[in-house]
A and B are shown apart, each in its own frame.
Chain A
Amino acid sequence: MKTLKIEELSKNFGTTEVLRKINLEIDEGNFLVLLGPSGCGKSTLLNIIAGLETINEGNVFIDDYNVSKVEPKDRNIAMVFQSYALYPSMNVKENMIFGLKQAKTSKEKIAEQLEKVSTFLQVDKLLERKPSQLSGGQRQRVAIGRALVREPRIFLFDEPLSNLDAKLRVEMRREIKKLHQQLKTTVVYVTHDQTEAMSLGTKIAIMNHGVIQQNDTPENIYNKPSNTFVADFVGSPSMNLIKGKLIQNSNNISFIAEGSNLEVPINNYDFNEKSDLNNKEIYFGIRPEHIYFKKLNEDDFDINLRADLSEYIGHEQIVTLDYSNQEILAKFPSTIKIELEKEVKLYFDLKHTSLFDLKTKERL
């Protein structure tokens, strides 16, 4: 039994296609993050799961029960919004129990739930306050509390941290993670922030233009992006994509960048399909953090590149390098002194490379 299953779901706003043939499954207790740039359809998908948007095609199942035409209140879900959406005229207590009162829950049960959740979230001292008298973090907690008291099957979060300042955002992120660890409720969480997605999710679904690009664990999203969009979207700075082609002779496969004749051996790369590789035009993908200043592994590939620019950002520096007229970035500890306008000897970690077809942009 899947807690949530989405089947061949499509959604249009007039003639604009917002979601196209979405298929998605979540197991009990998982934390699924929908990640993507703005306008990719992730919030629409969340609203559809909540029942706040109608569906054009396809179905949504909660616990194997088709809820496509079920009212939001009957779906056994709770949602936390970006603006918190606390009812301004009610105090914290009234906000939290509003849903239970609508559901005609008994007074004792309401009191018990309120007590439990408000102590758990440390808002028990704030019950009489109005939302306008709360700080951003407290509002966030109350919004989560309002969702918690209903003991839903699925929690839906719609960019809940993006209204907070940077420091508070990191704190609240940790609290949400802790919350999930303790409650083990299934969560669907929408964000455009990759750090949030990576740190919170047990699964990440990356979306673009209404299509799921990759649905995988954070590790696989980071290490084995399934196309150039994912490779470029995740990671900061994003993965270097070097244009070039493959050379295959007898047992050796290597990569040659455009305008260069240096062969980078990639014999150990785990190809999806190993046929017809010779002369294939590809992107050679390597993350800035996988270019080293010192040799770390036996098979690191050493290469001389000209350093053009260095950006100091405290604990590390981002160096712009020139690889036969293609600009690539590398990340080093800021203790390393790098001379600009000169060739530096560097090492590519070949265990952490990704190759993409230049035409289809898909992973090889």
Chain B
Amino acid sequence: MQDNLQSSSYKELEQKSKYTNMFLRWFLYFVLILFASYFIFPLYVMVVTSLKTMEEIRQGTLLTWPSSLNFDSWLVAWGGRGYGAGDTFLRPYFWNSIKMVVPAVFFSTFIGAMTGYVLTKWRFKGDQWVFLFLLFGCFIPFQAILLPMARTLGTLGISNSVVGLVLVHTVYGIPFTTLFFRNYYISVPTELVKAARIDGAGFFKIFFKILLPISAPIIVVTVIWQFTQIWNDFLFGSTFSFGEAAPIQVALNNMVLSSTSVKEYNVDMASAIIAGIPTLIVYVLAGKYFIRGLTSGAVKG
């Protein structure tokens, strides 16, 4: 009798916990879907609007599905309408941005790696102060340095050029990249450097042959970070460049704000998506390597 009573009450408890679990699970899905739609909604509106004709936009609502797949506004955003003056389109500025972002990401990442290497493996008196001052660079509001930077670029004769923007982004990227690499290299055993020194490797050989080959994860993190920052930058781009030399974000702004006649929402939306695609690509491509780098790491046993 006792046993029966026990087992029946256990069954009851089991049922109860099953219902609780089910409820929690559905609640979890509900919350997740809610948040996901919150983020997807603007993207949906952008994509849908970019595919509509102006006629459709005026007549339908924000959410209505486009009547057909119409990439005309994308082509206009990318290559323009083909008539002479006043036709702004993204293509030249897109290449400006590429010409700016590739060297700027490369140099800031490389210099950051070097600095991080020195600050952790070739320590010198006062190195923690150097690091501290570098960190200040992460917290300086960029508006504060616009004027001195403009003077500097002017003196160097590279204002309103892609080269000037590369310099600005490299300089202001170094605090972040140094922080990333320093924190990564601090966990790499210093004994590796000692062993290499006994083996006869010098400063650069140790960096290129020993440390850089194991830095893939942090390089990917840094590249994602720097690429996003530089590609999406508007402040430096709009301050230090205009007209022909402007990067894509500045051109996008000019396009959207300077439309003389009717607001072409479909072209605006297509332009915005085009301006955002490269960062998306970097995330999708490098994100994979990032995870792979994390799991295959194993510097130490």
| Residues of chain A having any CB pair with chain B under 8 Å | 47, 50-52, 71-73, 77-79, 81-85, 87-89, 98-99, 102-103, 131-132, 136, 139, 146, 158, 163
Cβ of B189: which chain A residues have Cβ within 8 Å of it?
83, 85
B210 at the interface (CB under 8 A from A): yes
Contact of B196 among A50, A77, A78, A87 (CB under 8 A): A87
On whether the beta carbons of A73 and B210 are closer than 8 Å, the reply is: no
On whether the beta carbons of A88 and B298 are closer than 8 Å, the reply is: yes
Q: Which of B176-207 contact A (CB under 8 A)?
A: 189, 191-192, 194-201, 205
Which of B191, B198, B200, B214 has the most chain A CB atoms inside 10 A of its CB?
B198
On whether the beta carbons of A102 and B197 are closer than 8 Å, the reply is: no
Bound together, the chains give a CA A98 to CA B194 distance in angstroms of 13
On whether the beta carbons of A102 and B200 are closer than 8 Å, the reply is: yes
B84 at the interface (CB under 8 A from A): no
On whether the beta carbons of A82 and B198 are closer than 8 Å, the reply is: no
| Contact-size category for B | 20 to 34
Given A136-B301, A163-B301, are A88 and B214 neighbors across the interface (CB < 8 Å)? yes
Bound together, the chains give a CA A136 to CA B300 distance in angstroms of 11
Cβ of B195: which chain A residues have Cβ within 8 Å of it?
79, 81, 85, 87, 146
Bound together, the chains give a CA A163 to CA B198 distance in angstroms of 22
Cβ of B298: which chain A residues have Cβ within 8 Å of it?
88, 132
Which of A51, A87, A139 has the most chain B CB atoms inside 10 A of its CB?
A87
Residue of B nearest to A82 (CB): B191
Contact of B200 among A79, A99, A131 (CB under 8 A): A99
On whether the beta carbons of A52 and B197 are closer than 8 Å, the reply is: yes
A-B contact pairs, 21 of them (CB 8 A): A51-B198, A52-B194, A52-B198, A73-B198, A73-B199, A77-B198, A78-B198, A79-B194, A81-B191, A83-B189, A84-B301, A85-B195, A88-B192, A88-B213, A88-B298, A89-B214, A102-B199, A136-B301, A139-B301, A146-B195, A163-B301
The smallest C-beta distance from B212 to any residue of chain A, in angstroms, reads: 8
Bound together, the chains give a CA A78 to CA B210 distance in angstroms of 18
Produce 1/0 per residue, B288-301, CB < 8 A to A.
Answer: 00000000001111
The smallest C-beta distance from B43 to any residue of chain A, in angstroms, reads: 40
Bound together, the chains give a CA A82 to CA B199 distance in angstroms of 17
Given contacts A87-B210, A88-B192, 6 further A-B contacts (CB under 8 A): A71-B197, A72-B198, A77-B198, A81-B194, A83-B301, A85-B195
Which of A51, A85, A131, A136 has the most chain B CB atoms inside 10 A of its CB?
A85
Cβ of A98: which chain B residues have Cβ within 8 Å of it?
196, 199, 201, 209
Contact of B192 among A87, A103, A132 (CB under 8 A): A87
On whether the beta carbons of A73 and B301 are closer than 8 Å, the reply is: no
Cβ of A47: which chain B residues have Cβ within 8 Å of it?
194
Cβ of A81: which chain B residues have Cβ within 8 Å of it?
191, 194-195
Cβ of B210: which chain A residues have Cβ within 8 Å of it?
87, 89
On whether the beta carbons of B194 and A85 are closer than 8 Å, the reply is: yes
Bound together, the chains give a CA A132 to CA B298 distance in angstroms of 6
Contact of B191 among A72, A85, A139 (CB under 8 A): A85
Cβ of A71: which chain B residues have Cβ within 8 Å of it?
197
On whether the beta carbons of A99 and B199 are closer than 8 Å, the reply is: yes
Bound together, the chains give a CA A175 to CA B250 distance in angstroms of 69
Bound together, the chains give a CA A227 to CA B192 distance in angstroms of 38
Bound together, the chains give a CA A207 to CA B209 distance in angstroms of 37
Contact of A103 among B200, B213, B299, B300 (CB under 8 A): B200
Bound together, the chains give a CA A213 to CA B61 distance in angstroms of 89
Bound together, the chains give a CA A289 to CA B33 distance in angstroms of 73
The smallest C-beta distance from B127 to any residue of chain A, in angstroms, reads: 14
The smallest C-beta distance from A343 to any residue of chain B, in angstroms, reads: 53
On whether the beta carbons of A83 and B191 are closer than 8 Å, the reply is: yes
On whether the beta carbons of B197 and A73 are closer than 8 Å, the reply is: yes
Given A81-B191, A87-B210, are A99 and B198 neighbors across the interface (CB < 8 Å)? yes
Cβ of A82: which chain B residues have Cβ within 8 Å of it?
191
The smallest C-beta distance from A2 to any residue of chain B, in angstroms, reads: 22
Which of A78, A83, A88, A103 has the most chain B CB atoms inside 10 A of its CB?
A88
Bound together, the chains give a CA A266 to CA B195 distance in angstroms of 53
Cβ of A139: which chain B residues have Cβ within 8 Å of it?
301
On whether the beta carbons of A79 and B301 are closer than 8 Å, the reply is: no
Bound together, the chains give a CA A103 to CA B199 distance in angstroms of 8
Q: Which of B242-301 contact A (CB under 8 A)?
A: 298-301
On whether the beta carbons of A85 and B199 are closer than 8 Å, the reply is: no
Bound together, the chains give a CA A255 to CA B209 distance in angstroms of 66
On whether the beta carbons of A85 and B301 are closer than 8 Å, the reply is: no
Cβ of A73: which chain B residues have Cβ within 8 Å of it?
197-200
Produce 1/0 per residue, B52-93, CB < 8 A to A.
Answer: 000000000000000000000000000000000000000000
Cβ of B191: which chain A residues have Cβ within 8 Å of it?
81-83, 85, 158
On whether the beta carbons of A72 and B197 are closer than 8 Å, the reply is: yes
Bound together, the chains give a CA A163 to CA B192 distance in angstroms of 16
The 10 A-B residue pairs with the shortest CB-CB distance, nearest first, are A89-B213, A102-B200, A99-B199, A73-B200, A85-B191, A132-B298, A85-B195, A81-B191, A72-B198, A83-B189
Cβ of A79: which chain B residues have Cβ within 8 Å of it?
194-195, 198
Residue of A nearest to B296 (CB): A132
On whether the beta carbons of B197 and A85 are closer than 8 Å, the reply is: no
Cβ of B205: which chain A residues have Cβ within 8 Å of it?
102
Q: Which of B199-229 contact A (CB under 8 A)?
A: 199-201, 205, 209-210, 213-214
Cβ of B199: which chain A residues have Cβ within 8 Å of it?
73, 98-99, 102, 146
